[in-house]
Amino acid sequence: MLTASETGVSTPVVLESAAELSAGLDGARSRGATVGFVPTMGALHAGHSSLIERARAECYVVAVSVFVNPSQFNDPADLESYPRDPQRDIQVAISAGADFVFMPNVLEMYPAGSETVLEVPSLSRILEGASRPGHFSSVATVVSKLFAIAGRCTAYFGEKDFQQLQVIKRMATDLKFPVEVAGCATVREEDGLAMSSRNTRLSPDERYAAAVLYHALLQGKERVEAGERDPVKVEAAMANVVSTEPLAQLEYAVAVEPVSLNSPTTLTGEVRLLVAARFGNVRLIDNIGVMADLGNEQVHDSGTNDADLGNFLESSHPQFNNNTRERHQS
């Protein structure tokens, strides 16, 4: 096992230069160190910390990037309102185990005259891509730049942005980057809401309501585990749960194959359940995985009626009792 002095990194370093980060990581690798890399857009929370901590546990040297990529935002107001606290981000990253914190400005990542863009067409124009045109092209482009800067490493991404994870995996494979892309489990609040920087923009009522996304996913998961193999019925079950929350405006609830993100005619093997909804001006996404094992198919009709739905919500998820469902109607 290498010591800190043997890797060439004894104290955490904050850098703005891509060349300096590359040199630092190359130097560590030349001494036999493995590198873990955690790309972020800042506003670090416990979910990001868990990525950094995993990188710390698996690699000798850990680098974290903090860059709010302007090209990922379709709405200028969304970019303007995106939370930024660079000093806190530095503290969180270092506390979680970062050796390098890379905080480039826009010109460092997009020098004057930059025009190259990347796209993974089959994964970038559906689901999130349908409502955010060009978003995943921007993600693939900036992450490719970060991978080129970081060099050989293991890069850690949260599964909360599952479609993004699949886009990045495909891009890294297609372009033969010397990068292993590792997906990490979603970190959740006590009520199940996936941690996200966007959660801070929710009003108290919206924040309370947003937990309905996770409960919808749990309903879909329970349907699959009970033997339902019709994706349409699983999707309807999830949508029905979201419909119990007046503050939620559902955009999609789908059951897909996890690599292609295509909707199968019959659910088999590993399945990914994904939902997206708006709560006021804030758009949230979430997902969970489930196995549709062969031999456990459900042969009877599994349509969800209102009574079944109410019983499920009240027995399995106490947040959704009658008082909760009537909260916004009183």
Give catalytic residues, as residue numbers.
Answer: 48
Give the 3-state secondary structure of residue 26. Answer: helix
> Tokens 């506390």 label which residue?
95
Give me 168's structure tokens: 């990045």
Parallel/antiparallel/unpaired status of strands 61-66 and 100-102: parallel
Torsion-angle region of residue 118: left (phi > 0), alpha (psi -120 to 50) or beta? beta
Assign 3-class secondary structure to 151-190.
Answer: CCEEEEEECCCHHHHHHHHHHHHHCCCCEEEEEECCCECC
Structure tokens at 26: 């190359």
Kind and range of the H or E run holding 272:
strand 269-279
* Structural contact between residues 286 and 253, judged by C-beta atoms closer than 8 angstroms: no
The rounded distance, in Å, linking the Cα atoms of 255 and 220 is: 8
Contact 281, 212 (CB under 8 A): no
Q: Are 68 and 80 in contact (CB under 8 A)?
A: no
